[in-house]
Chains A and B, each alone.
Chain A
Amino acid sequence: MIVFDKVRFSYGTRQVLRDASFSINADERVAILGGSGDGKTTILKLILGLLRPDSGKIIIDGEDITNKTEDALREIRRRFSIVFQEGALFDSLNVRENVAFWLREYTGMSEEEIDQRVRELLEMVGVEGAIELMPEELSGGMHRRVAIARSMAAYEPKMFLYDEPTAGIDPVNAVTICKLIIDLSKNGKGFIIVTHKVFDAMKVADRFMFLKSGAMIFDGDKDQLIHSPIPEIRIFVSELGSV
């Protein structure tokens, strides 16, 4: 379980999160919505301990991670699998090496075993044909799918974190990514997806949160989101009417 208790965070003088408080269970399918710069990605980084809050507490499975050392945080991070915005594939490695990265780094698997596992993962996300390509040769959608495969190679996570997984890609690829996100959560594993694309969020999530200028101004289900009177949410939801 993830608990944020009055978390504040700022980049220099710019306050990004203001007293954000919420809790999310590991099996929930949550979408955090909000505009650019409203602190959505910051929340994911705080969950993983990649950033430290200015004040407040972040509790993961009952452990306060706010002041944990980098070594202690490594164990916490293994409970999650994250796909960063635009995939964050290593530029200098091809698709095979990107997916094999963690396996080579931390397991005693032979090259044949690694190769087999990499092929399985790439097949699962539907990009097995791209195994020898470099990241710059991939489309936006393929980038995300390879990143998902890489994140699954690392370890068995309790929960998936997705940072804008469908941003900047075409609708067909967006649908594929959404299907993949749902498939991966079928065995009871939850996820948090941060996005500004309410249409995609509706396809995958059951619970919705809305961030505005670093404050959580909404937390509810799909119906509550659609009928919310909050003007900022109305603007976001109006995207649905145009589809």
Chain B
Amino acid sequence: MKRTYLGEFEEIVLLAVAVLNGQAYGVLLMHEIIEQTDRSVRLNQVHSALQRLEEKGMVRSEMGEPTNERGGRRKRLFSVTAFGQRTLHEIQEVRASFWQRLTPTLKFSV
């Protein structure tokens, strides 16, 4: 099976974008990830991950409306492309098949 490689952090960002359903942008994504994973994430990491994902064609972006809280600056809003969704599904499937083959003992210990 041939597909574009996705890093672990990229995968999380992509998932977060998918979850936020079209409302995803830099800061929000960062907070979401911090909340969910409880690790320290920096804004520039999120931005570069998003850029990379966009270069790979897994997300697309558009500029939103100007908002007051950002000093009138627009947000760049991200949403997952079809290719991105398929990739997420594939990852999910690969993992699921491995999980099924795991011995029950291990399942318990998890």
Same complex for A and B? Answer no
B residues near A, CB below 8 A?
Answer: none
